[in-house]
Amino acid sequence: MSVETSLKSSSEHEAPDRVRDLPTVDSEEAAAEEASASAIQRMIALGQMSSGFVHDFRNILAVISAGLSLARRHESDPVASNGFLAGAQEGVDRGLKMATRLLDFTSGHDCEVHAENVNDALRQSEALLRYAAGADTRLILQLGSNVPDFDFDRPQFNAAIMNLVINARDAMPDGGVIQISTDLVTQPAFTGVNLEAYVQIRVQDDGTGMSASVMRRIIDPFFTTKAETGTGLGLPQVDAFVKQAGGFMRIDSAIGAGSVFDLFFPARASATPQ
């Protein structure tokens, strides 16, 4: 069974529109009311963002814990131990950046979107992704050679891929393989697609897969199949991030056949497959 998320503008995932029909009174009073309405919007958005932040921060803490555990396990090998400690430190650095980003948002600074290369982003995150996948899981990167830059917010991208890797790991309790691949594709055969070229990021596992009933609800906020260990926030965050970037997500899965998550982002007009 496959599920495709619809193309929506980022405005559908933001806080409610600003209160516009203010009374025609003194300009200072009107400005004060508008400022109040803007503050309310930001508080609503902050509440939504905070729940996702806690989810992502818990993932980072789990990765740091894995790095420290591996370092202790390899105490007799200083080279290996130092490598694991460096990975744990990278997790600490990323956690600090996440906290700074949340504080920046409370001060009125929104996320920073830049044209970046997804292959570079994945290579830089590879060590943390391997820790997240766990010792019993093999993580493979297959990065396309013709993948162009596209506009995205790096922290949100990192959190999205981390969520997909952790979900894939949890779907393989006895271990397995997670494959992350990138490519430039033209005119994907999906409904709602209106651009010629997309950057595709695929996260695939050979885990237990999902039933049709689970697939229908998988991106619903707070829906989880992990009982008390799940929050139901990971995949909705991934879906929101992709849509904010102007793209869409497609999910294929079946019981016993593993799962495939394809993220499609609009490629720049100058990008053409080779």
Counting the structural domains of the chain, the total is: 1
State the residue range of the domain holding 211. Answer: 2-16+27-266
Whether 46 maps to a domain, the answer reads yes
Task: Report d(CA 60, CA 128) in Å as an integer.
Answer: 9
The pTM score is 0.62
Q: Is residue 212 part of a domain?
A: yes
Q: How confident is the prediction along the chain (274 residues), in pLDDT tens digits per residue?
A: 666 665 444 344 444 444 444 444 456 566 555 555 554 454 444 445 555 566 677 777 777 887 788 888 888 888 888 888 887 777 777 777 766 666 555 554 455 778 889 999 999 888 888 888 888 899 999 999 989 998 888 888 888 898 899 889 989 989 999 999 999 988 665 555 666 788 999 999 999 999 888 888 887 876 677 656 555 567 888 888 888 888 899 999 989 899 999 999 988 765 554 4
Q: Phi first, then psi: give them for residue 232, nearest 5 degrees.
A: 75, 20
* CA–CA distance, 162 with 183 (Å, rounded to integer): 19
Pairing of strands 259-266, 197-205: antiparallel
> Residue 130 falls within a domain, yes or no?
yes
User: Under a CB-based contact definition with an 8 Å cutoff, are residues 144 and 181 in contact?
Assistant: yes
Judge whether 272 lies within some domain. no
- Can you tell me the distance from the alpha carbon of 52 to that of 159, in angstroms, rounded to the nearest whole number? 10
**Residue 21 covered by a domain:** no
CATH number at residue 72: 3.30.565.10
Give the integer Cα–Cα distance in Å for 65 and 86.
Answer: 12
User: Would residue 233 count as lying in a domain?
Assistant: yes
